[in-house]
Chain A
Amino acid sequence: MKDTTKFGISKKRVEDVECLYLKGYLDAHTAPILENTIQDSLNNGNFKIIVNFGELDYISSAGLGVFMVFIEDIRKNGGDIKLANMNEKVFSVFDLLGFPMLFDIHKEENHLISSFGSVKNI
């Protein structure tokens, strides 16, 4: 029902921060794409990651799970995953689950870029 071809990721590098721009539907079918992309970043030694949800229409529980897979490792390495620019619906999913208490979530990507250094602990 949800078209997997409608999911896409583009990358941008701002200083030492890896910005991932998600687009479309993030569900059980497309979650592995995001997982691989983040894994690539880690393999390249980039532990400061911002995920921009500006063009993401939908996220399922499997999509949420992806962030939990890496966060521990990333924070151990002095990095973090920060979440930016969610629409209201996507934010409400994160919000219900209590993500705002676990992750830095902000409307502005730039705000998050400059905020790297202050790390939350799970």
Chain B
Amino acid sequence: MIRKIFFTDDALSNNSKVGFFAAGIIFTALRIVGDVILFMIGKYNLENLLLWNTITSSIIIFSFMMTLFMENSQKKKGDNNNFSVDYLKDVNKFFLISISILFAGIFIEAITNVGRIPENLFTLFSQIAFSLFVLIATIYVIHYLYKWFNIRKHKRTKFYLFIIAYIYSFFIIKEFMQFHLGYKLEFLDVFGIIVYISLVVLSWLLNSKNSWVTLLPRDLKVKQAWLSFFTFIIAIVVMSRFADLSDFNIIILKYFPFSRTIIIITFIILSTSMLRIFFLILASLPTSTIVERRTSEISSLTYLNKLVADSLDYNIDNLFDVVTKLALQSCNANSSWTELYEGNTVRIVKSININENAVYAAHNDFDLTGMLCKFQQSELIDSVVESKYFSAMKNYLPNVKSLIIIPLFSSTDRIGTLLVGDTEEYSFEIDDLKVLNAFGDNIRIALENAKLVKASIEKERYKNELLVAQKIQSKLLPSILPEIENYSISAYSIPATEVGGDYYDIVKLKNGNYCILVGDVSGKGFSAAFYMAQLKGIVMSVAASANSPSELLRKINKILYGNIEKKLYITMSALSIVDNQGNISFARAGHMPFLIKQNNKISSSIPNGIGLGLANESIFDNALEEVSLKLNENDAVLMFTDGINEMQSEDKEEFGYEPLKNTLSDNKNNNAIEVTENIIKKVQQYGDNLIHSDDMTIFALIFLGNKKLME
């Protein structure tokens, strides 16, 4: 029967639990009512009621056991995270149950006369009540012992519990045979002693797991030790009270057969367990301070790690705040503060039990920063007064008698110091230093994280700004070229990076002539793009006051010279379309040659001229030449920047002028767009997969002939 109970692992429904409980109550009531009726009709004699008592007692024991064990099977191990505390509650229960059984027994014995036939209904009733109370309380103890062995179970727990179940059965049978049926069977007594001893041994072994004790905080351990010890004493007393065959015990034995056996065995297990736990706790007491400390260190570090992960939102001050607090706690120190070095100033981010003004004063009066920065690694100052460097500190911070210094780094830069102080000299240990070192490392990681996040945000922002710049710049270049009678024109420009220094435009001069401009600001990227934008502004402002390309270039140079960085210069070609008869004129300020197709012959033209911004007005103006030409039908001019002809192939050969000339002479369709597109295609193929390192711009002009005249 009991074996069945111990190994009921299936989770039976709540209904069956209620059912068993109801059965227990009904049979208890039935038993009491039956006893009372028997007593009333004068038939009550314990000697003659063996069958009635045995059957009702068995059913009551079984029902209540099942009620409790149903609950147990529903609870899984690990439901309670804080079992140690729960366990303490259990021991409390054991203690209370044992003590109430003890006092109830004494009380009942005192108020009732013990006899084979109860002298009155009150005696009968109180004795039955007491017997029931002891029985149910014991079942309750069994239930908690079982639960507790299972939660602290080890490899052999199941096996030991199995044997214990047999031991219960053995003694129940022994009781039945010897006491109720009256067989002597002396060999059972001898064997019983052996079984008692093995029961004690098994109970001892069931409690051999001790790791949970180690983890308890010291104060709980002390409490537990006391409680276990007293429960042990009471359990022994209760057990011995039931062990001897006094009249009182015999009555109980007869009232509820098997209950005495169950009580005795249960209290043997309980007392042995309590004794064992008492010893376990005693053994672990000396190390408990260390364990507690390790536990708190680990939990602080875990917390810190979490914070480090959170520091991605670069709330660094909050991190220092927490670190300062944790550092104080984990070393059991008295005061702590974190100071940061920002340029030449010191800032205290967080302080605990520290007069910040005194620290600032110490920094001002003697070079505390310098001394702290001498330490590249954490340092333990056992006595501030005796210390070589910090003895002066006693005047400022009299309560800091010993000190730990933790240098804080971001990458390799020293950014601050975490200081932990105590009111006693020699109060820190080398272990404190190790833990705080870990704090320092964590801060370094957190700062690194924050930096990376910041960098990537900045990169993202830069990227966005670059896109904006690109958009703005693309608006500086004409998106649509004007239609010019008898001419086909086309332009194409590709910056090397998002923004570039190449410039092309077509503007109207004072005399109404169109003027094509192709320019190149030296350098690349933002600086070039900036000057390119400036150049556009200058062109817009002076174009309408110039009558020729050379005049325009002169005006631009006049403005630029002395107003741009010395190492920068701008080259530019300007070509004006004088009329719709093919007359053009052009000038060149240090720019690439003009490639000209005239009567199917290609030549390059390099009129004299210095780059814009390189020379003063007189030198520039003197040097600048302007060339005039008359184009015939199908004649063309190509203007470009050096990004085209200097495009390099994989073996570092330059693209050169030849492919440009070829494209120009191959073009028979009088389509400028075709010319620019072909050239760009060729250049890109030439550079293949290489990223082009310079901006590329090309402008083509083809004279279509005088169509009006032809018509």
Interface on A for B, CB 8 Å cutoff?
A: 1, 28, 61-62, 64-66, 68-69, 72, 96-99, 101-102, 121-122
Interface segment, one of B116-124, B462-470, B605-613 = B605-613
Contact of A97 among B567, B590, B652 (CB under 8 A): B590
A1 close to B648 (CB less than 8 A): yes
Residue among B567, B609, B610, B619 with max Cβ neighbours from chain A (10 Å): B567
Provide the residues of chain B in CB contact with A62, threshold 8 Å. 522-523, 567
Q: Are A65 and B609 in contact (CB under 8 A)?
A: no
Determine the distance from Cα of A101 to Cα of B648 in the docked complex, in whole angstroms. Answer: 29
Question: B388 contacts the other chain (Cβ, under 8 Å)?
Answer: no
User: Measured between alpha carbons, how far is A94 from B389 in the docked complex, in Å?
Assistant: 64
Q: Which of B522, B568, B589, B693 has the most CB of A within 10 A?
A: B522
Q: Roughly how many angstroms separate A68 CA and B592 CA in the complex, as a whole number?
A: 20
4 more A-B residue pairs beyond the given contacts A61-B523, A64-B569, with a C-beta to C-beta distance below 8 A: A61-B522, A69-B566, A97-B569, A122-B619
A-B pairs under 8 A by CB, number: 64
In angstroms, Cα B613 to Cα A64, docked, is 13
Q: Contacts A96-B591, A96-B606, A97-B611: A65 and B567 contacting too (C-beta < 8 A)?
A: yes
Does B566 lie within 8 Å of A102, measured CB to CB?
no
A97 touches B610 (CB 8 A): yes
Is B623 within 8 A of A1, CB to CB?
Answer: no
Q: How many of chain B's residues touch chain A, expressed as a range?
A: 20 to 34
Q: Tell me the minimal C-beta distance from A92 to chain B in angstroms.
A: 10
Report which of B523, B568, B593, B693 forms a contact with A1, defined as CB distance below 8 A. B693
> Contacts A65-B568, A68-B569, A122-B619: A98 and B614 contacting too (C-beta < 8 A)?
yes
B616 at the interface (CB under 8 A from A): yes
Chain B residues within an 8 Å CB radius of A101: 608, 610, 615, 619, 623
Q: Which residues of A contact B615 (CB under 8 A)?
A: 98, 101-102, 122
CA distance A28 to B524 in the complex (A): 10
Which residues of chain B are near A28, meaning CB under 8 Å? Answer: 523-524
Contact B623 A122 (CB under 8 A): no
Residues on B with C-beta less than 8 A from A64 are 522, 569
Which residues in window 666-694 of B have CB below 8 A to A? 693
- Across the two chains, which residue of chain A brings its CB closest to B606? A96
Chain B's closest residue to A98 (CB) is: B610
CB proximity of A33 to chain B, nearest CB, Å: 14
- B493 within 8 Å of A by Cβ? no
**Which residue of A has the minimal Cβ distance to B624?**
A98
| Least CB distance, B650 to chain A, in whole angstroms | 10
Q: Which residues of A contact B693 (CB under 8 A)?
A: 1
Q: Cβ of A98 and Cβ of B611 under 8 Å apart?
A: yes
A72 to B693 Cα, complex, angstroms: 31
Closest to B615 in A: A122
Alpha-carbon distance between A83 and B212 when the two chains are bound, in angstroms: 88
Within 8 A of A (CB), among B7-59: none
Question: Given A1-B652, A1-B693, A64-B522, does the pair A122, B566 have CB atoms closer than 8 Å?
Answer: no
Cβ of B417 within 8 Å of any chain A Cβ, yes or no, is no
Question: CB-CB < 8 A to B619: which residues of A?
Answer: 101-102, 121-122
The answer to whether B568 touches A96 (Cβ under 8 A) is no
A68–B652 alpha-carbon span in the complex (Å): 28
Distance to closest chain B CB from A8 (angstroms):
19
A69 to B568 CA separation, bound complex (whole angstroms): 9
Q: How far is the CA of A99 from the CA of B623 in the complex (A)?
A: 11
Once the chains are docked, how many angstroms separate the CA of A121 from the CA of B622?
A: 13
Q: How far is the CB of B15 from chain A (nearest CB, A)?
A: 84
Q: Whose C-beta in chain A lies nearest to the C-beta of B520?
A: A61
Inside 8 A of B335's CB, which chain A residues have their CB?
none
